[in-house]
Each structure stands twice: as structure tokens, then as C-alpha cells.
Structure 1
Amino acid sequence: MKTFSLIGTLGIAAVLGIGGYALAQQAQVTALRTDPVNAPNRLGPDFQWKGKEGKMQRNYRQQPPLIPHSIAQYQMDLRVNQCLSCHDWSKAGERNAPTLSMTHYLDRSGMETDHIAGTRYFCNQCHVPQADVAPLVSNTFVPSSPAVR
């Protein structure tokens, strides 16, 4: 009796699994990313730098600042972070660029270091180039008031 119920349960699971797989294959899911996952990410024409000068306002408190210039040709990988050539504390003054927040120089235990923390090395985890484009997904978000710079 136990064998029969085990076989029946496995049969139902197989039918449901195959049916779910078939439904998933029929669904027309489109990805927001157009490049393969293992390929470099290319910015589409909507996200190319439009030459807008000045900083855009932030939408909420604690929002990371938007990048007010093109980064299309910037190298950012395990060996090189081209953002640091201007924004690192040792170079920002001579390059007339904003200095990174001191939080970028805290290691995991909260100790201050002279070099950027590994957890903050990839700038695009939080900062994105500013672009005046329509949202990818419709929403009802309203910026906080007053606007924050």
C-alpha cells in the first residue's frame, strides 16, 4: 500500500512539474537586460549621456547621488575602478570632483582606512548615470518633499 501511494505521489509530482514547465515555456517573459549575463552590459540609446549639465534632484533622503556625466567608456572591474581616478580622497581636490563619503573608507568592522572599502568598490551598485527617461515599470511613486539635492 505504501509503495502504491509513493508511486502515485511521484506520478502526480511529475505531471505537475512537466505541466509547470510547459506553462513557463509559453509565458512571454522579456528581460530588461538585452545582453547575455556573461557579456559586458551596454547602455541602450535611452540611457546614453544626453549632455544635461548640473545635478538632478534626489527623490528621497539617503538616495545615492546620481552620476552627472557619461561613464560609457569607464573601466570598472576587479583590477581598475576609473571613478577613483577623480573621486578618491587623494585626487578629488586637484580634479575639482566631489570626494567620496567617508563611509566608503570604512571596512566591515567599521575601521577607517586610507583606501576604498571592498564593499564600496563597484560604484554602480548604488550610483547610476542620470537620465531623463520613462520608468521601465509603471508605478505610483511620488518623490518626497521637499526635494533633496
Structure 2
Amino acid sequence: MKFQKTFSAFIAAFLIALGGMVWADQAGNVKALRADPLDGLNRIDEVKHQEARRFVRNYRQQPPLIPHSIDQYQIDLSANQCLACHDWSVAGDRGAPTLSMTHYLDRDGQQLDAIAGTRWFCNQCHVPQANTPALVDNVFTPSH
């Protein structure tokens, strides 16, 4: 009986919310974030400008930003092209920064000879640095 009342209340709340969305849409108050109609071609302005200099980190422990394009890099289950330059075994020869030793620790803190599976997908944490406009206002100030 208690489940039936809870379920009925949920359905009622859902229908009220759905009715509100339909009313707002019909009233013309709902605006899309894109300028083009949904069935039209979506034009994207080129706003990304790759910077040659390295950006400073905004907070302690921030993953470093990538100072080069990675548009054509293969990073998937079978390959990680970042390791061709940044793995500890080749970074010195390539003049690239070596990965942090934390990238060679498994979940239990055991040292590995190869990059840990939990750190395989570099672009989970590291992103290319670019001078782009802010999407939303930001009042963050670094602590240093």
C-alpha cells in the first residue's frame, strides 16, 4: 500500500513537471543554446588557439596542460600515442617531460614497469591548452 502511494505521488509529480515543460515550450520561453535550427547545419566558429608557451597551473596538483595538438593521436584500448614520447623509457631521448611516477603505480601502490591501466587514457585528466573564451563566468582565483 505504501509503495502504491509513493508511486502514485511520483507519477503525479512527473505529469505536473511534463505539463509545465509543454506549457513553457508553447509560451515560447524556451530558448536553444545554439543559433541554428535543430534541422539545420550547425556552424562552429574556430575559437581554439593553440599556445606555444606553457600555461601555469591554476592550483596545486592540477594535471599539466598539453602544449601541443592531439587531434590525430590514437588513445584507445589498443594504443596510446602519448607514450611514444612521454613514457619514462623514451622521454629523455625525445626531449619530452616524463610521466609522473604516480602513473606507474597500481591501485595498491605497487610499482609497475609500464603505465598503470588506471592512467592509460591521458585525456581523462590532461587537456590541450588553448586560449578560448569562457563558457560561463568564473570567479576562481588560484591559491598561489
Quick check: TM above 0.5?
yes
Matching residue within 10, 13, 17 for 2:14: 17
Whichever residue aligns with residue 86 of structure 1, its letter is: C
Change (3 A) 1:7 1:93: closer
Structure 2 match to 1:104: 103
Contact kept in structure 1, 2:86 and 2:96, CA below 8 Å: yes
Structure 1 unmatched ranges of 5 or more: 32-42
Structure 2 unmatched ranges of 5 or more: 35-43
Structure 2 match to 1:38: none
- State the identity as a percent: 52
Q: How does 1:68-147 map to 2 (within 5 A)?
A: 68-145=67-144
Length-normalised TM-score, structure 1: 0.73
Alignment coverage as a number of residue pairs? 129
Post-superposition CA distance 1:60-115 (Å, at most 9, x none)? 11111100000011111111111011100111111111100000000011000110
- Report the Cα distance in structure 1 between the residues aligned to 2:46 and 2:100, rounded to whole angstroms: 31
Post-superposition CA distance 1:7-38 (Å, at most 9, x none)? 7765544232122234456565759xxxxxxx
Change (3 A) 1:17 1:85: same
Length-normalised TM-score, structure 2: 0.75
- Report the Cα distance in structure 1 between the residues aligned to 2:69 and 2:123, rounded to whole angstroms: 13
